[in-house]
C-alpha cells in the first residue's frame, strides 16, 4: 500500500514539475495523462497525507514481529557486553514509546 502511494505521489510530482507555473496551465488547458494541474495538486496533497499516515502505521503493524526477531537474535548471539544490551534496550524503549504515542 505504501509503495503504491509512493508511486502515485511520484507521478503527480513529475506532473506538477512539468506543469506551467501559475494560472497559465488553466488558461491554456494544460493536462497530463488527462488530468489538469489542479487535479494533480489535489491528488498529490491528499496522497501525501495518506502516506504520512501509512508511514506512522507501519512500525505499529510490525512491532510484535520486530520484538520477536530481536529476542531470537539475542538468544542466538548471547550478547554479554553491557554496551550492546543498553543500545538494544534504548531502541526497544524508543519503539514502545512511539507505539504508545500513535495508539
3-state secondary structure of 35: strand
- pLDDT, one tens digit per residue, over 21-66 is 888 888 888 888 988 888 899 999 999 999 999 988 888 888 888 7
- For the CA atoms of 90, 91, 96, 99, what is the dihedral angle to 10 degrees? 140
**pLDDT score of 83:** 58
Q: How far apart are CA 45 and CA 98, in angstroms?
A: 25
pTM over 0.75: no
Query: What pLDDT is recorded for position 51?
Result: 92
The Cα 2–Cα 51 span in angstroms is: 7
Q: What is the mean pLDDT of residues 14-19?
A: 89
Q: Which residue's entry shows cell 499516515?
A: 53
pLDDT at 103 over 70: no
Amino acid at each position: 500500500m505504501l509503495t503504491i502511494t509512493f508511486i502515485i505521489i511520484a507521478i503527480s510530482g513529475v506532473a506538477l514539475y512539468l506543469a506551467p507555473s501559475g494560472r497559465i496551465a488553466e488558461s491554456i488547458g494544460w493536462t497530463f495523462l488527462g488530468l489538469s494541474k489542479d487535479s494533480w495538486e489535489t491528488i498529490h496533497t491528499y496522497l501525501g497525507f495518506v502516506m504520512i499516515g501509512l508511514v506512522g502505521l507501519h512500525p505499529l503493524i510490525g512491532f510484535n514481529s520486530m520484538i520477536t526477531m530481536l529476542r531470537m537474535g539475542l538468544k542466538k548471539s548471547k550478547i554479554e557486553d553491557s554496551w550492546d544490551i543498553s543500545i538494544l534496550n534504548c531502541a526497544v524503549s524508543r519503539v514502545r514509546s512511539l507505539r504508545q504515542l500513535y495508539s
